């Protein structure tokens, strides 16, 4: 064990849970096969881990929490930097980015990806900040693809997408989510605090004319700002053949202006679209965040409604998140971070990383508690968590 190991096993800050971490590690170690006590090269140990799991069919291949939910989806934020300053995400005031050495390096991200895939993660979404502002993202996607990620996607604001679309596809990207919070140029500029409307629309066109089609277009509706565009967004889905997803405004805005009066409920959005163009529900997996609908008249396009505030879907949640600075979050609204970066940089073995990750995921929150009287928003805002 590395000389610095004692510091991360006993640390009481950064979400490491102090002696609780050490005790969870020890309990888990007692249950582990002696195979994983061997001091092998990390790459060999990962392969041994996968081979052993396949042979015995044991639950080591999957991540579960104490509520029986299987965790198969991982959101990886590769940067905290963004070229937009959306009102629901970034503050209008200048912000100091984290130093580059605080952000996970590509080799660190590669190692964590291998470990998470060995634990049964099947879906990976690359997020930020804005992921396309970090040099090397195409190469990272190619490495994830080579590792065998079943479902590899990205969330982007679309500003740099048109020029990078084909390279992303060649690297192995299979799906794309593009943020678009208004179809009105002036309103778009007010929401994003940029003048990039035409560029983003060009990015959407590029995606629609590629193997990434149909693109998922995400709109966060905020009462009094863009809630008058529900029908226009639905019409956009029909005209362009995109999957138009409406997301309820959540208390993750950097300016801390969120209140329930600003939330446009999914039921209202459905009612308004259905009155104009009747909708038919599409079956979905239990762990999916969106309730999906097609147009009854057979028009192209699709509608998705994501209602974390008014219709929480926590009971079937299959997601965890890795922040750009190496913190594992088991819920978008987690109050605690769990510092994987410190473990990586202080000499933790793959075995210890696996043990710690499993212990953290086991304690995943039952729900986000937005509707609880004592709800407290997380200290991190959206840009520092990863969309």
**Does some domain include residue 271?**
no
Asked whether residue 358 is assigned to any structural domain, the reply reads yes
User: Is 177 inside any structural domain?
Assistant: yes
For 105-144, write each residue's pLDDT tens digit.
Answer: 999 999 999 999 999 999 999 999 899 999 999 999 999 9
What radius of gyration do the chain's Cα atoms show?
Answer: 21
**For residues 269 and 293, is the Cβ–Cβ distance under 8 A?**
no
Give the strand pairing for 338-339 and 327-329: antiparallel
The CATH number assigned to the domain holding 99 equals 3.20.20.70
Asked if the bond preceding 214 is cis, omega within 30° of 0, the reply is: yes
Q: Does some domain include residue 375?
A: yes
In a domain, 163, yes or no: yes
CA–CA dist 244, 247 (Å, integer): 10
Element (H, E) at 76: strand 73-77
DSSP string, 265-334: -HHHHHHHHHHHS-EEEE---TT-S-EEEEETT--S-EEEEE-TTTS--GGG--EEEE-TTSEEESSTT-
Question: How would DSSP label each residue in 88-117?
Answer: TTS-SS--PPPPGGGSPPHHHHHHHHHHHH
* CA distance to 160, 209, 248, 369, per residue, from 383 (Å): 18, 29, 17, 21
**Does residue 288 fall inside a structural domain?**
no
| Largest Cα–Cα separation, the chain | 66
φ/ψ of residue 116, rounded to 5: -65, -40
- Helix, strand, or coil here: 129? coil
Tell me the C-alpha distance between 40 and 266, whole Å.
Answer: 52
The answer to whether the pTM exceeds 0.85 is no
Pick out the chain residues at pLDDT < 50: 1-24, 27-28, 30-38, 50-60, 91-93
Q: What are the CA-CA distances from residue 201 to residues 65, 126, 178, 197, 348 (Å)? A: 40, 21, 10, 6, 45
267 phi, psi to nearest 5 deg = -65, -35
Residue 292 in domain: no
Residue 207 phi/psi, 5-degree rounding, is -65, -40
- Distance between CA 48 and CA 42 in Å, rounded? 10
User: Domains in the chain: how many in total?
Assistant: 1
Q: Give the pLDDT score at 23.
A: 47
Domain of 26 in residue numbering reads as 5-31+62-205+311-384
Give the H or E element holding residue 178.
strand 175-179
Structure-block tokens of residue 241: 């053949």
Beta-carbon contacts of 6 under 8 Å, excluding residues fewer than 6 positions away, are none
* CA 248 to chain CA centroid, nearest Å: 16
Q: How far apart are CA 356 and CA 365, in angstroms?
A: 16
């Amino acid at each position: 064990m590395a000389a610095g190991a004692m510091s991360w096993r006993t640390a009481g800050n950064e979400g490491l849970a102090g002696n609780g971490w050490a005790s969870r590690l020890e309990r888990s170690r007692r249950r582990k096969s002696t195979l994983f006590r061997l001091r092998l090269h990390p790459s060999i140990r990962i392969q041994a881990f996968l081979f052993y799991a396949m042979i015995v069919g044991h639950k080591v291949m999957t991540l579960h929490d104490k509520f029986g939910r299987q965790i198969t989806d991982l959101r990886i934020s590769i940067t905290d930097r963004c070229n937009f300053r959306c009102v629901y995400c970034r503050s209008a005031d200048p912000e100091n980015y984290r130093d580059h050495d605080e952000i996970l390096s590509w080799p660190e991200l590669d190692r964590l990806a291998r470990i998470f895939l060995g634990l049964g993660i099947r879906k990976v979404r690359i997020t930020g900040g804005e992921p396309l502002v970090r040099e090397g993202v195409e190469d990272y996607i190619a490495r994830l693809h080579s590792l065998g990620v079943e479902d590899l996607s990205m969330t982007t604001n679309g500003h740099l997408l048109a020029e990078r679309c084909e390279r992303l596809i060649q690297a192995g990207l299979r799906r794309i989510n593009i943020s678009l919070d208004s179809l009105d140029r002036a309103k778009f500029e007010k929401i994003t605090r940029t003048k990039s409307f035409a560029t983003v629309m060009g990015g959407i066109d590029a995606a629609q004319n590629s193997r990434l089609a149909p693109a998922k277009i995400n709109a966060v509706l905020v009462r009094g700002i863009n809630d008058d565009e529900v029908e226009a967004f639905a019409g956009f889905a029909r005209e362009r053949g995109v999957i138009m997803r409406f997301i309820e405004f959540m208390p993750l805005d950097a300016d801390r202006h969120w209140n329930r009066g600003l939330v446009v409920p999914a039921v209202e959005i459905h009612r308004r679209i259905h009155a104009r163009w009747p909708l038919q529900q599409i079956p979905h997996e239990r762990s999916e965040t969106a309730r999906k609908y097609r147009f009854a008249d057979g028009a192209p396009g699709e509608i998705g409604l994501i209602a974390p505030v008014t219709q929480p879907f926590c009971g079937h949640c299959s997601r965890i998140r890795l922040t750009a600075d190496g913190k594992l979050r088991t819920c978008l609204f987690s109050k605690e971070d769990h510092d994987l970066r410190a473990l990586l940089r202080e000499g933790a073995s793959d075995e210890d990383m696996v043990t710690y990750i499993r212990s953290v995921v086991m304690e995943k929150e039952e729900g986000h508690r937005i509707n609880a009287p004592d709800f407290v928003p997380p200290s991190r805002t959206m840009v520092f968590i990863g969309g």
